[in-house]
A and B are shown apart, each in its own frame.
Chain A
Amino acid sequence: MLILRPRFPFKVPVEAEILCPEHLCGKPVGEVGRMEVLYGRRRKKLEELFTVEERGDGEVLRLEGDFGRVKYVGARMTRGRIEVEGEVGMHLGAEMSGGEIVVKGRAGDWVGAEMRGGRIEVRGEAGNLVGAGYRGSRVGMRGGTIIIRGNAGREVGEKLRRGVIAVEGRLGDFAGALMTGGTIVCFGEVGEGLGGGMERGTILTFRRPPLLPTFQYSCTYRPTFLSLLLPYLRREGLPVREEHLKGKYERYDGDLACSGKGEILVWRGEGC
């Protein structure tokens, strides 16, 4: 395991795609320290910005201290584990295809943007565009699981194609906009514009969301696949209750401004 700590509070963003277990773990500390990152617009060696400590084996990278201005942590990672003890910056786990990232604090925008596999858990809040596709891309997240324990910002799961995004807190506006597949689950309140322009995919909420007029009620039923999804989310530590498992859900088809083959499932609540 490698442990990195910032040597001083960063005044400008650090672009550190190199902070992946596969790039750093197993290499001598000296070699790791000589690797370069961008500090603002200047190239700096890792050892100039961080202390590097090696403790035991395993493909684990632990980031201790304030990484709130450190961007692209775990971007394109394929294996191993990253543990962030505090806050972390934008583009966490962007385009990753495997491995696991756990953030104990807050994460910036673009968490898991265009990710293809693996697992990200943010125990604090997350910024905007979680699991989204970058501007100009046709699809966003294409696989894997993102768990946000706190609130999440705007446009969560924008252009989502495959995979699961679960938010325990509040979901910002335009969640699931333009999504073409995959699943977004929200246990808290939901913002405006939910699923705007969605072609396919599922948005599951446990509180009644404001719905766009282009979503139409179809029926109230108990979708069998929730018997698989909800226990999976419960194993991930999300607050799935027995009433959620046994309850009925209202289904709204949309966005009818597009193909209308997406769905918003709304839990009808206890006693229904």
Chain B
Amino acid sequence: MEIEDTFAEAFGMRAARVIVTAKNENWVRNAALTATGFATSVIACGAEAGVERWLRPEETPDGRPGASLLIFAMSEKDLEDQLLRRIGQCIMTCPTTSCFNGLQGEKTVKVGAKLRFFGDGFQLSKRVGERRFWRIPVMEGEFLVEEEFGIKRAVGGGNFLILGEDEDCTLEAAERAVERIRRVEGVVAPFPGGVVRSGSKVGSKYRFLKASTNTEYCPTLRPLVKSKVPEGVNCVLEIVINGLDEESVRKAMREGIEGACSVKGIRRISAGNYGGKLGKYLFHLREVMRCSS
């Protein structure tokens, strides 16, 4: 098994942490998965998001079961817009939920302060301690949402590729990697189950398309293109990691790679980059792994 001497290229993003709570785990799950759904890549989804972790009642502001969600976007404005859309359409609509800020960030964006207008003049504000909340009347009762959410500079697009002998072992390696990554605080893997099967490259032979399939890593195209799929490798999966800071992403990559390497049949770990010209953050795989020893 080889860790290729290459690097993952990641970008600066803005992130918010949303704490959603509800009457029971079922409704927490419904709200969390809906709010972080269709949020795999900013290119087409507007945001990248995921469940950071599930929270026990004693860990949440209102003593109910909850989830910590991380939502990433390319700018403050985009992030505010996405928070409004996702909290307004996916959390406010979900029975019994409440929504709290989970990040003391560099700046704040107004969320509850804007969503309150849904109350059509019957909304009530409440300040408890130093935090201000809005109570918006809804058919089920009330939706409680915090007025402001903290945002901070974050890192998006940390990644690594798992090159395996077949689909079975590669998928198992990816699952183990995601399991390890989920234990790291401050990161999410925003793709389905944390795994990407359709990694992309910039551009396409078609002028109307900004991104297209990563031909270099498609096993089926090995004889047709300048392939990076070594002999004996028949399946490649990618793990993409977004984190609240560089160190969290580095730690998650290390954990993920270690998890993936524990599966028999994995031939190589590689990473996606753009030659180091586009991203602000470069994660050299061998350096990342050296930190673990």
Contact = CB atoms under 8 A, between A and B. Distances in A.
Interface of A: 143, 162-164, 181, 183, 200, 202, 221-225, 227-229, 231-232, 245, 261, 263
Contacts of A202: 124, 126
Given A224-B98, A225-B135, A183 B126 contact: yes
A74 to B, nearest CB: 21
A261 B128 CA distance: 20
B127 A225 contact: no
B63 A223 contact: no
A181 B125 contact: yes
Contacts of A222: 141
B144 interface: yes
A200 B127 contact: no
A227 B135 CA distance: 13
Interface string B122-139: 101111110001010000
Contact of B133 (A163, A164, A225): A225
Contacts of A231: 63
Contact of B122 (A181, A183, A221, A261): A261
Size band of the interface chain B makes with A:
10 to 19
Contacts, number: 48
Nearest to A144: B127
B141 A228 contact: no
Given A223-B141, A227-B62, A227-B64, A163 B124 contact: no
B150 interface: no
Given A225-B128, A227-B63, A227-B64, 15 more contacts: A162-B127, A183-B126, A200-B124, A202-B124, A221-B142, A224-B142, A225-B144, A227-B62, A227-B98, A228-B126, A228-B128, A228-B144, A229-B128, A245-B63, A261-B122
B175 to A, nearest CB: 36
The interface centre, meaning the residue of B98, B125, B126, B144 with most chain A CB atoms within 10 A of its CB, is: B126
Contacts of A225: 126, 128, 133, 135, 142, 144
Contacts of A263: 124
Contacts of A245: 63
Contacts of B125: 181
A245 B62 CA distance: 10
Nearest to B98: A224
Contacts of A221: 141-142
Nearest to B134: A225
A268 to B, nearest CB: 15
Contacts of A200: 124
Contacts of A223: 135, 141-142
Contacts of B141: 221-224
Contacts of B63: 227, 231, 245
B128 A232 contact: yes
B61 interface: yes
Contact of B61 (A143, A163, A181, A228): A228
Question: Considering the complex of A and B, which 4 residue pairs feature the smallest CB-CB distances, nearest first?
Answer: A227-B62, A224-B144, A228-B128, A221-B141
